[in-house]
Copies of this chain bind each other. A is one copy, B any other.
Amino acid sequence: MATSAPSSSGGGPDPNSTNLRPPSSSYDWSGVAHGCTRKLGMKICGFLQKNNNLEDKSRIVTNEQTNSNERDPRFRRAETDFSNLFARDLLPAKNGEEPTMQFLLEVVDILTTYVRKTFDRSTKVLDFHHPHQLLEGMEGFNLELSEQPESLEQILVDCRDTLKYGVRTGHPRFFNQLSSGLDIIGLAGEWLTSTANTNMFTYEIAPVFVLMEQITLKKMREIVGWPSGEGDGIFSPGGAISNMYSVMVARYKHYPDIKTKGMAAAPRLVLFTSEHSHYSIKKASAALGFGTENLILLSTDERGRVIPADLEAKVIAAKQKGYVPMFVNATAGSTVYGAFDPINDIADICEKYNMWLHVDGAWGGGLLMSRKHRHKLSGIERANSVTWNPHKMMGVPLQCSAILVRERGLLQGCNSMCAGYLFQPDKQYDVTYDTGDKAIQCGRHVDIFKFWLMWKAKGTEGFERHIDRCLELSAYLYNKIRTREGYQMVFEGEPQHTNVCFWYIPPSLRGLPDGEERRQRLHKVAPKIKALMMESGSTMVGYQPQGNKVNFFRMVVSNPAATRSDIDFLVDEIERLGRDL
């Protein structure tokens, strides 16, 4: 177990510092004195120090070598030599407390530096490398695993390199996914969650988190509009699983025997969803044994919203074939267009034909927090179940997705298997708080705390302000480009959500007549601009084709760090990179 000198690119200039602006290191960090309030116990006070020129590794000294008399003993410090320390020297090792604290604080240093840079527009969004480049080992960043342990110094270098070659999803100019931003309270919540390292399945080992989940789910149901917030729900590992729950629960409600007898116990069941809906509904149809052919896709209007008459016609046609229409998914905020299906009209049809109504509000659910925008989900209170991902529009760190169910008991009925080793009925507390048997999972990650903490810290009104602001920003983009030369909107009218879908038409294509040649050339524009963007690292935005429409950009705003200047930057960047295509 010889100690090898850590390989690293950490000593060189940071490739994530672009030349867009002077590097932020000119900020006077040495002046940022700070401290910590504390009521009890040990105190760690961090302090910040500008140290860009201190790269001499030989400066490492041990505690013993520090002349602590030179200054207030409370502020004694020393450099730690991590090159001779290993994981086995940390807690629970004997005398492991000190190196553990030092190691964790060093990690925190790396992380807080990353956080700071994330919000710094002079830092790149990413430093792109191809898979083969990273696999070959970038400047000593070796991804391979080995028999022997690495020193903690190498581990710290690996942490730095991991962040360096990653993507800053919290950067003000990262617009690539529905989830973006880096909420500081949420981040603190995740750090605490990791430190608590427990499991949601029983009250016994997650008492506080179980109650936080219960309270938060009730609040969400109130906001959906179910009387007194009654109903049920659970946090799941993402919107796809939440949507899968909705289909499972609907099936259990209509044909409870399927749980024991399988799909053979039911007639041929059909499900309905829009052709613009998220692909997870299709995944659920396949996984749960319905088959994707029994998921009937509904036509939409030009804005991507389900046409209710098409639903009714397809329900009638299915019934005529002897199939049983069972489940309808209405999307509240579609992935690409940000479209909101007309829930009330769909609910009327669901009631008429006795079908389960699920609202997939993974993306659009956040708008329920806004008095200005929640009308777009009008009718959601008539849904039997709702998916709502706080990790999207509400800026909660990944993962945080809720499935809400209006009728109590169905989740439990559908999924419970009464495992004796976890859900003992003879515990000393009220075991109805053991929620694990509702889930299709056994162990379940604590996804609630960061969300609960953010809600405490922002208040309901804070989420509302965030959402209104994101929608204002996307309206700004829409108004900026809708009549601008070289842009063509994918659909007419102001977007319902923050999704702004558009083609950028390079000058060389502007004179071309509509037709196959133009289509083929236009199809290549967005991928090309995106590739250039990623290579320059300046910003990221998504693109895709949809139906018979060739590749177009889908801009979305959920990042609280984004401003109008970032929108302007994106437009400039598209034009800069696309001008000569």
Query: Which A residues between 454 and 483 are near B, CB-CB below 8 angstroms?
Result: 454-462
Which of chain B's residues have a CB closer than 8 A to the CB of A4? none
Indicate if the CB atoms of B196 and A163 lie closer than 8 Å: yes
Indicate if the CB atoms of B41 and A25 lie closer than 8 Å: yes
Contact status of A51 and B46, CB under 8 A, knowing A197-B398, A428-B527: no
Query: Which A residues between 138 and 169 are near B, CB-CB below 8 angstroms?
Result: 143-150, 152-156, 158-159, 161-163, 165-167, 169
Residue A510 at the B interface, CB < 8 A? no
Among A166, A204, A417, find the residue whose CB has the most chain B CB atoms closer than 10 A.
Answer: A166
A 48-70 binary contact with B (CB < 8 Å = 1; else 0): 11111011010010010010100
A 184-197 binary contact with B (CB < 8 Å = 1; else 0): 11011011111111
Min CB distance A541 to B, Å, is: 12
- Closest residue to A210 on the B side, CB-wise? B131
Residue A390 at the B interface, CB < 8 A? no
For A, the interface residue count at a CB cutoff of 8 angstroms equals 226
Min CB distance A573 to B, Å, is: 16
Indicate if the CB atoms of B208 and A166 lie closer than 8 Å: yes
Residue A106 at the B interface, CB < 8 A? yes
| Number of chain copies forming the complex | 2
- Closest residue to A417 on the B side, CB-wise? B279
Contact status of A102 and B66, CB under 8 A, knowing A39-B8, A42-B29, A291-B258: no
Indicate if the CB atoms of B38 and A442 lie closer than 8 Å: no
Indicate if the CB atoms of A165 and B87 lie closer than 8 Å: no
Which of chain B's residues have a CB closer than 8 A to the CB of A397? 194, 197
User: Considering the chains assembled together, what is the distance between the CA atoms of A329 and B401 in angstroms?
Assistant: 30
- Closest residue to A154 on the B side, CB-wise? B456
User: Considering the chains assembled together, what is the distance between the CA atoms of A156 and B130 in angstroms?
Assistant: 42
Q: Of A262-270, A306-314, A377-385, which binds chain B?
A: A262-270
Residue A352 at the B interface, CB < 8 A? no
Contact status of A108 and B106, CB under 8 A, knowing A158-B453, A216-B145, A561-B91: no
Which of chain B's residues have a CB closer than 8 A to the CB of A176? 204-205
Residue A135 at the B interface, CB < 8 A? yes
Which of chain B's residues have a CB closer than 8 A to the CB of A36? 79-80, 102, 105-106, 109
Residue A335 at the B interface, CB < 8 A? yes
User: Considering the chains assembled together, what is the distance between the CA atoms of A60 and B111 in angstroms?
Assistant: 27
Q: Can you list 23 A-B pairs with a CB-CB distance of less than 8 A? A: A29-B43, A30-B74, A32-B97, A33-B78, A34-B63, A34-B102, A35-B77, A41-B52, A44-B49, A44-B105, A45-B46, A47-B75, A130-B430, A131-B207, A155-B453, A182-B197, A197-B397, A241-B441, A262-B294, A426-B524, A428-B534, A428-B535, A445-B445
Q: Assuming A36-B105, A262-B293, A263-B291, what are 7 further A-B pairs, CB within 8 angstroms?
A: A8-B39, A44-B49, A108-B108, A146-B459, A147-B460, A158-B453, A279-B419
